[in-house]
Structures are given as structure tokens and as C-alpha cells.
Amino acid sequence: MLSFRRHKREDISYRVAWLNNRAAALYVYGTVDHLTTEAEQTAWFDQYEKEATAGLKKFFTIMAENKPIGFMGLFKIDPIKRSAKIFILIGDEEYRGQGLGREALQHLIQVAKTELDLKTLYLEVHKKNLPAIKLYRRLGFKSLDKPVGDEMRMTYSWPG
Ligand SMILES: CC(C)(COP(=O)(O)OP(=O)(O)OC[C@H]1O[C@@H](n2cnc3c(N)ncnc32)[C@H](O)[C@@H]1OP(=O)(O)O)[C@@H](O)C(=O)NCCC(=O)NCCS
């Protein structure tokens, strides 16, 4: 059973560890050679706080029994188009493949609807990232077109 809390500055060291996981780095940065640092993630968080205050980003820390295991969020929130891009990372590898990504993303989709009244979510995913592609498809995301380079674009609209 998961819970979700506001993404906080104290999560920076978790972000460094999670993003430096090989599988995550491959799909997030497109290479396993990019190692992120406390400084890079602190800069990310500085920017995040500004954008969150402006209503452009909304991120959560994913908690399993009070242990932070990953993060997810909405970014490029556009109140005119009522759309946002999404991202999810179960950073702690031992927690992957147990349906937690699905549970977390269902929560994020609900937040996007009930708190932000969005109409469309979209994302880009590496065409070889099968767990992510299966997860998005299972929750109703549709592929937009052929991959652009290594990235597949997917979109979600609420029924009705
Ligand atoms: C993508 C990610 C969030 C999925 O979360 P998860 O908790 O591992 O996924 P779930 O257990 O909820 O499973 C989701 C689907 O993927 C499948 N799956 C899980 N692990 C898999 C694996 N190693 N290989 C193939 N399929 C896999 C599951 O069977 C399920 O599909 P189904 O509903 O058709 O049965 C997680 O693997 C992750 O954080 N990966 C690294 C970061 C990343 O790639 N983020 C996405 C960037 S776009």
C-alpha cells in the first residue's frame, strides 16, 4: 500500500541515488554514462520550487510503508490547454515489478483530474522501456505515432 507526499528538498539525496540507477539512467538520460550529482539535483530542485509556485509543476514522493521509493509528477502544466506531461520513477529497484508503478500512476492521473481539471496527459518513453510502455498502456495511454528517434510519444484523455 503506497502513500504520496509533496516532493521535498530533503528528497534530493534520494533523487541522486534513484537517478543513478542504471536502468533509470538509461531511460531518463538516454545513457548509463550520465551520473547525476547533489549539485545537479539541487539546481533541479531550485527550479522545481519556482515552477511549482507558478503552478507549472507538481511532483510527489512515492512512499511504501513510510519509506521513499521514488517520485512522480506533472510538469509543463498548461491551464489553457488543460494538459500536462507526466513522469514516474520507482527508484528503488527492489520495489519495481510489483504493481506499485501502476498504483502510483493511477493516483497521479486522479490528481490531474480532480485537483487540476486537466483534459490530456502526455509523455515520451524510450521505445525499449517495456515496463513503462506496458504500464502506460494498461492505464489507457495511447501511442501517438511512430517513435521519434528512440522516443515513443503517448497520450491520455479521460473518458467522456
Ligand atoms: C516504469 C516503472 C515506473 C514501472 O513501475 P513498476 O512498479 O516496475 O511497474 P508495475 O509492476 O506496475 O508493472 C507495470 C507493467 O509492466 C510490466 N513489467 C514490470 N516489470 C517488467 C519487466 N522487467 N519487463 C517487462 N515488463 C515488466 C508488468 O507486468 C505490468 O504490465 P501488465 O499490467 O501488462 O502486467 C518502473 O519500472 C521504473 O521506475 N523504471 C525506471 C524509470 C522509468 O523508466 N520511468 C519511466 C520514464 S518514461
pLDDT digits (tens, 9 = 90+) for 102-126: 999 999 999 999 999 999 999 999 9
Instruction: Give distance in angstroms: CA of 53 to centre of ligand 1.
Output: 31
pLDDT score of 160 more than 80: no
Q: For the chain, what is the radius of gyration of the CA atoms?
A: 15
Instruction: Give distance in angstroms: CA of 120 to centre of ligand 1.
Output: 22
Q: Which residue, among 113, 130, 131, 13, has the nearest Cα to 71 in the 3D structure? A: 13
Closest ligand 1 atom to 90 CA:
39
Instruction: Give distance in angstroms: CA of 98 to centre of ligand 1.
Output: 8
Contacts 24+ apart (CB under 8 A), 30-35: 30/126, 30/150
Closest ligand 1 atom to 70 CA:
39
In sequence order, the β-bridge partners of residue 141 are: none
**Residue 141 is placed in which grid cell?**
495511454
Distances (CA, A) of 91 to 19, 88, 112, 147: 7, 9, 22, 25
> Which mutation among 129, 134, 155, 156 tests ligand 1's pocket best, with the greatest number of atoms within 8 A of CB?
134
Domains of the chain: 2-157 (3.40.630.30)
**Residue 5 is placed in which grid cell?**
507526499
Kindly report the protein residue whose alpha carbon is nearest to atom 27 of ligand 1: 131
Q: How far apart are CA 28 and CA 41, in angstroms?
A: 14
Ligand 1: residues with CB < 6 A are 23-24, 27, 88-90, 96-102, 123, 125, 129-132, 134-135, 138
pLDDT of residue 153: 94
DSSP-derived secondary structure letter, 59 = E
Burial class (CB in 10 A: 0-12, 13-18, 19+), 26: middle
Q: Model-level pTM?
A: 0.95
Confidence of residue 146 (pLDDT cuts 50, 70, 90): confident
Q: Kindly report which listed range (18-27, 48-57, 136-145) carries the lowest average pLDDT score.
A: 18-27
Report yes or no: 104 and 86 within 8 Å, Cβ to Cβ: no
Q: How far apart are CA 131 and CA 160, in angstroms?
A: 28
Kindly report the protein residue whose alpha carbon is nearest to atom 45 of ligand 1: 89
